[in-house]
Amino acid sequence: MRPAIRFASIGLALAALAYAAAPSATAADAVDPVADAKAFKKYFTDKFPKVKLEDFVNGPYSMDEGLHQQWQEKEQFPPYEFSLELGKEMFSKPFKNGKSYGDCFPNKGIGIRQNYPYFDEKEGKVITLELALNRCREANGEPPFSYVKDEMAALTAYMAFTSRGKPFDIKIPNDPRALAAYENGKEYFYTRRGQLNFSCATCHVQSPGERIRAEVLAPALGILNAMPIYRSEWSGMGTTSRRFTSCNSQIRGVPFSPQDDEYRNVEYYLSFVSNGLPISGPGARP
Amino acid sequence: MNRIRTSLLSLASVLLIAGATSALAASEADYKAALAAAEAANKQAAGVRNQWTTTAATINAAKKAAEAGDFDKAVASANEAEALAKASIFQATSEKKLWKDMEIR
């Protein structure tokens, strides 16, 4: 009997200790996006002291001199040019009801890419540029586009182009739901998934600049500033949705539907921590 | 003489084991039970938003083997699929805490 009582007392004492320690653990885990963004930038600038902060938006091309030269040559005749031209044409062409994309966005949709995604306090969710574009279409009686390529890539390419050089300016309003969306996005970014047991961070935080097969991994800092991208591997353009879903498949995880909450939230997180870095999209990648 | 007796005994054991194995050949009912368990585990993985592509592929392999009448193979694949699904659930559950270890602070 005595040992049982002793055992129970030890258990109670441990529980009390854990309870006492709990509030301080919660305080340490408090969500602080500004501190996160600062630490995020410091991690990458410490890891790559020769790379200028604004150059991180060039992904693998910022990681090595030879690749940087290749990129500069590519930019003479960029492979995203056709998509960009298509996007410009589509953007200015009115819908059947006479309205156009410009009517759905602030400043007629020009030079606003750096403000997306944003947190919609009415809806209580993150709104990405791709989602806003399809909602605009549907509100004007047009069918939505596929989120991953073709027309959606063309439209976002044009909108990114009109914002080139403007620093990412993602806001987190004083709303607990916005902070939760940001924190969920962060959790998604660092969570290992798929049979290969990779998180986004495994490649883009732990291993940028290193090769995974023939590819040079891009740093997570500024990774969305160049979206959408023309990828030689895809032989075509791809949106942020395409990047997220194909990353999941590559690690043998079943991807979610584009624009599911997880993807919207991780885009919110990744864009926020790259605040201040210039939009460089549309981009080209190997 | 002893050697011959030992050899005969060994042969008998081998035959017995072989007989026992063929008696344990999987049936369609075994396959159906194994498939149901795999699909239930994969559904649970969907619930924690962490299905693996290999689970679905292995379930499909089980179905193909069953269609071809190879229930041994079908049961083996279904069991493997269940194990994969359970591993994905374990991953999702443990990562609920472990992701923080990776965070840049």
User: pLDDT band at B21, cuts 50/70/90?
Assistant: very low
As for how many domains chain A has, the answer is: 1
| Residue B13 resides in a domain | no
Cross-chain residue pair B52–A194, CB shorter than 8 Å: yes
ipTM for the complex shown:
0.84
Tokens read off for A244: 């997220």
The mean pLDDT value for A216-222 works out to 95
As for how many domains chain B has, the answer is: 1
pLDDT for A16 beyond 90: no
Cβ A160 vs Cβ A116: under 8 Å: no
| Residue B72 resides in a domain | yes
User: pLDDT band at A9, cuts 50/70/90?
Assistant: very low
pLDDT tens-place string over residues A27-73: 456 889 999 999 999 999 999 999 999 999 999 999 888 888 888 88
| Residue A256 resides in a domain | yes
Smallest Cβ–Cβ distance between A43 and the set B56, B92, B104 belongs to B104
Cβ A94 vs Cβ A155: under 8 Å: no
| Residue B89 resides in a domain | yes
Helices (H), chain A: 2-28, 33-47, 65-74, 81-92, 129-139, 150-161, 176-190, 200-204, 240-250, 261-272
Residue of A nearest to B46 (CA): A254
Residue numbers of the domain that contains A269: 33-286
User: pLDDT band at A95, cuts 50/70/90?
Assistant: very high
Residue numbers of the domain that contains B74: 26-102
Chain A contact for B84, CB < 8 A? yes
| Residue A149 resides in a domain | yes
| Residue B85 resides in a domain | yes
The mean pLDDT value for A141-163 works out to 97
Which residues on B lie below 8 Å from A193 (Cβ)? Answer: 50, 91-92, 95
pLDDT of res. A74: 83
End-to-end Cα, chain B, rounded Å: 78
| Residue A263 resides in a domain | yes
User: pLDDT band at B102, cuts 50/70/90?
Assistant: very high
| Residue A22 resides in a domain | no
Cross-chain residue pair B95–A253, CB shorter than 8 Å: no
Smallest Cβ–Cβ distance between A253 and the set B53, B100, B104 belongs to B53
d(CA A222, CA A186): 15
Cross-chain residue pair B52–A187, CB shorter than 8 Å: no
Chain A contact for B44, CB < 8 A? no
| Residue B98 resides in a domain | yes
| Residue A86 resides in a domain | yes
Mutate to test the interface with A, among B53, B55, B97 (most CBs of A within 10 A): B53
pLDDT tens-place string over residues B37-75: 999 999 999 999 999 999 999 999 999 999 999 999 999
Q: Closest Cα partner for A155 from A102, A234, A106?
A: A102
A185: domain CATH number? 1.10.760.10
Q: What are phi and psi of B19, to 5 degrees?
A: -65, -40
d(CA A185, CA A267): 7
Active site residue A247: yes
pLDDT for A257 beyond 90: yes
| Least confident piece of the model among A196-210, A231-245, A253-267, B3-17 | B3-17
The mean pLDDT value for A239-267 works out to 97
Average pLDDT, chain A: 90
